[in-house]
C-alpha cells in the first residue's frame, strides 16, 4: 500500500501534491494558472458548494461545542462570548492564510494540489534562514505530528464523553420519569466508575476502526449527523426556557481559569486540518473562500449562542458537557444517547487521519503477507492508547482544554501566520502584515504554554468530581 498521507487503496484524498484525481487535468504547465489569479480546475466529480459547506460545518462541530458553556464560565459571562468571537475571527483568518499560501505554492511550483504539510515545507524552503531551508522536510513532519496528536486527542475526548453520558443515563435509569419539569430529587443509583465505562467501550471501538474504508461508514456518518442535529435542537429548546437572572454571574472570571477557556475555545475551532482537502475536492474551488466564511460564521454563531445560553441557564452548576446538565427524564436522556451515538461513529472519522499517516508507513516496511496483520495491530494499539490516556485523565473539561492548548493552538494559530511570513518574505510583506502575523503567533504560543500549564495543574490539584445527586430538571444537588 502507498505510504501517502490520508490515502488508502479504497479511499483517495487528493489534497496531496503528487496525486491527480481522475478527470482532473494532468500535472502539467496548465494545471495551475501562472498568473496572480488562482484558477485551479476542480474535480469532474467534485463536491458542490452546498456539500462543501456541510463538510465545513461537520469538520468544526463536535464535543467541543458542548463544553463551551463551561468555557464561558471560566472566562465570564461577558468576557467569554467576546473572547470566543475574537478567537473565532482569528481562527478563520488563519484558515484563509493557509488557503492563500497553498494557492501561492500551487502557482509557483506548477502543482495542482498542496496540503497543509506540503505548504509548511515549501514555506520553510522560501524562508530567509538557511538552517530552515535545509531542514524544510521537518515542516511536513511537524504538521503530521500535531495532526496525529490533535486527532488522537479528539478520540480521547470521545472516550470520556461517551463514558460520562452513559454513566449518567444508567445511574439515573431507575429514577427517570416522563416529567421533565418536576423538581423532584433523583438519587443516582451507584454504578461503575467512569474509568470502567471507558474500558467497556474499548472492544466496540476497536471493531469500529477495523472498518478501513470510509465509504462503508458513510451511512453511519449520515445517521450520526442527524442524531447530533436533533440533539442540538432539543438542547437549545431546553436551555432557552427559564433562564434565571444573570446578575449573579461574574462578568469577568479570574485570570487563573482563563487559560482553560482558551484551550476549550481553540479546541472547538478544530477544523483547520480539513480546509485544504475540502477546497481541493470542490468542483468549483474558486468559490471556497465564500463557503469558508459562511460556514464559519454559522459555526461562530452556534458556539457563542450555545456557550452563553448554556452558562446563563445553569450558572455555577454547569458541567463539562452541557448534556450532563439535562433533566433526568426520558426525552432528555434520549438526547444524551443520540449525541453519544453520533460521537461513537465520529470516532472512526477522527481516527482515520492519524491511522492513514502512521499505518501505511508501517505496512510498507513488512512483507505483503503481514501487511493486514500489522494494519489491524497498529489500529488496535492506537485505540488502546487513546483509551489508556482517557482512563488516566477521566476529566472531560481538562482533556478538552489540554488537547486544545497543546496541539490545536499550534495548527490553528501558531503555524499559519508564520507560514505567511515565510511564504511571502522574498516578495515583500507590509510591516503591518508582519506585525499582525507575529501577534497572532504570540497569542497562540502564550495560549499553548499557559493553557497547557493550567490544564496540567488543574489535573493534579483538582480531584475528579463525585457523582452528584440531581433533580429532574437537571439542577445539581451537591
pTM comes to: 0.80
Distance, in Å, from the CA atom of 352 to the CA atom of 217, rounded to the nearest integer, reads 11
Distances (CA, A) of 135 to 27, 139, 145, 402, 417: 26, 8, 16, 29, 19
Structure confidence at residue 470 (pLDDT): 47
Query: Which of these, 58, 60, 86, lies nearest to 304 by C-alpha position?
Result: 86
pLDDT, block means (10 residues), the chain with 478 residues = 36 34 37 40 69 82 86 93 94 93 90 89 90 91 91 90 89 68 54 87 93 73 83 91 85 88 89 82 85 92 93 90 85 87 86 86 89 92 94 86 89 94 88 94 94 87 53 44
DSSP H/E element including 437:
helix 431-461
DSSP H/E element including 477:
strand 476-477
Are 143 and 185 spatial neighbours (Cβ–Cβ below 8 Å)? no
Structure confidence at residue 324 (pLDDT): 86
Alpha helices, DSSP H only, in 110-129?
116-125
Structure confidence at residue 27 (pLDDT): 37
Structure confidence at residue 388 (pLDDT): 95
Structure confidence at residue 162 (pLDDT): 93
Structure confidence at residue 45 (pLDDT): 67
Structure confidence at residue 43 (pLDDT): 55
Written as nine digits, the cell of 1 is 500500500
Backbone angles phi, psi at 273, to 5 degrees: -70, -20
Structure confidence at residue 24 (pLDDT): 38
- Residue ranges and CATH numbers for the domains of the chain are 49-180+191-460 (1.20.1740.10)
Structure confidence at residue 54 (pLDDT): 83
Structure confidence at residue 21 (pLDDT): 36
Structure confidence at residue 57 (pLDDT): 83
Are 83 and 302 spatial neighbours (Cβ–Cβ below 8 Å)? no
Query: Which of these, 232, 225, 264, lies nearest to 346 by C-alpha position?
Result: 225
Are 383 and 63 spatial neighbours (Cβ–Cβ below 8 Å)? no
Are 260 and 74 spatial neighbours (Cβ–Cβ below 8 Å)? yes
Cell match 482515520: residue?
A: 352
Rg (C-alpha) for the chain, rounded Å, is: 23
Amino acid at each position: 500500500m502507498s505510504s501517502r498521507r490520508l490515502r488508502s487503496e479504497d479511499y483517495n484524498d487528493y489534497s496531496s501534491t503528487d496525486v491527480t484525481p481522475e478527470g482532473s487535468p494532468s500535472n502539467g504547465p496548465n494545471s495551475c494558472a501562472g498568473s496572480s489569479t488562482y484558477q485551479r480546475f476542480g474535480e469532474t466529480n467534485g463536491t458542490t458548494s452546498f456539500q462543501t459547506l456541510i463538510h465545513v460545518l461537520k469538520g468544526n462541530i463536535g464535543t467541543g461545542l458542548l463544553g463551551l458553556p463551561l468555557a464561558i464560565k471560566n472566562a465570564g459571562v461577558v468576557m467569554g462570548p467576546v473572547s470566543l468571537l475574537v478567537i473565532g475571527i482569528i481562527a478563520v483568518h488563519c484558515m484563509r492564510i493557509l488557503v492563500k499560501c497553498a494557492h501561492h505554492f500551487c502557482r509557483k511550483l506548477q502543482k495542482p494540489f498542496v496540503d497543509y504539510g506540503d505548504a509548511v515545507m515549501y514555506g520553510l524552503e522560501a524562508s530567509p534562514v538557511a538552517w530552515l531551508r535545509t531542514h524544510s522536510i521537518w515542516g511536513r513532519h511537524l504538521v503530521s505530528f500535531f495532526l496525529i496528536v490533535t486527532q488522537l486527542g479528539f478520540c480521547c475526548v470521545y472516550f470520556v464523553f461517551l463514558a460520562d453520558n452513559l454513566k449518567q443515563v444508567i445511574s439515573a435509569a431507575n429514577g427517570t420519569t416522563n416529567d421533565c419539569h418536576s423538581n423532584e430529587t433523583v438519587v443516582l443509583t451507584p454504578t461503575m466508575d467512569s474509568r470502567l465505562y471507558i474500558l467497556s467501550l474499548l472492544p466496540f471501538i476497536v471493531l469500529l476502526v477495523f472498518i478501513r474504508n470510509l465509504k462503508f461508514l458513510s451511512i453511519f456518518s449520515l445517521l450520526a449527523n442527524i442524531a447530533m442535529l436533533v440533539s442540538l435542537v432539543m438542547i437549545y429548546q431546553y436551555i432557552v426556557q427559564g433562564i434565571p437572572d444573570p446578575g449573579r454571574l461574574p462578568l469577568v472570571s479570574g485570570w487563573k481559569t482563563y487559560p482553560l477557556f482558551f484551550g476549550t475555545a481553540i479546541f472547538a475551532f478544530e477544523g483547520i486540518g480539513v480546509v485544504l482537502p475540502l477546497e481541493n475536492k470542490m468542483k468549483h474551488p474558486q468559490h471556497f473562500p465564500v463557503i469558508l466564511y459562511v460556514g464559519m460564521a454559522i459555526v461562530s454563531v452556534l458556539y457563542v449562542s450555545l456557550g452563553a445560553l448554556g452558562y446563563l441557564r445553569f450558572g455555577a452548576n454547569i458541567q463539562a458537557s452541557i448534556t450532563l446538565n439535562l433533566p433526568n427524564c426520558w426525552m432528555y436522556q434520549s438526547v444524551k444517547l443520540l449525541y453519544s451515538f453520533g460521537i461513537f461513529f465520529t470516532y472512526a472519522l477522527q481516527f482515520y487521519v492519524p491511522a492513514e499517516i502512521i499505518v501505511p508507513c508501517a505496512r510498507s516496511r513488512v512483507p505483503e503477507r503481514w501487511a493486514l496483520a500489522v494494519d489491524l495491530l497498529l489500529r488496535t494499539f492506537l485505540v488502546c492508547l487513546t483509551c489508556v490516556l482517557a482512563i488516566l485523565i477521566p476529566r472531560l473539561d481538562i482533556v478538552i482544554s489540554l488537547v486544545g492548548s497543546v496541539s490545536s493552538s499550534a495548527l490553528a494559530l501558531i503555524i499559519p501566520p508564520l507560514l505567511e511570513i515565510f511564504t511571502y518574505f522574498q516578495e515583500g510583506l507590509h510591516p503591518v502584515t508582519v506585525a499582525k502575523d507575529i501577534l497572532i503567533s504570540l497569542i497562540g504560543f502564550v495560549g499553548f504554554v499557559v493553557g497547557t500549564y493550567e490544564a496540567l495543574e488543574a489535573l493534579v490539584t483538582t480531584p475528579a468530581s463525585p457523582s452528584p445527586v440531581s433533580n429532574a430538571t437537571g439542577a445539581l444537588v451537591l
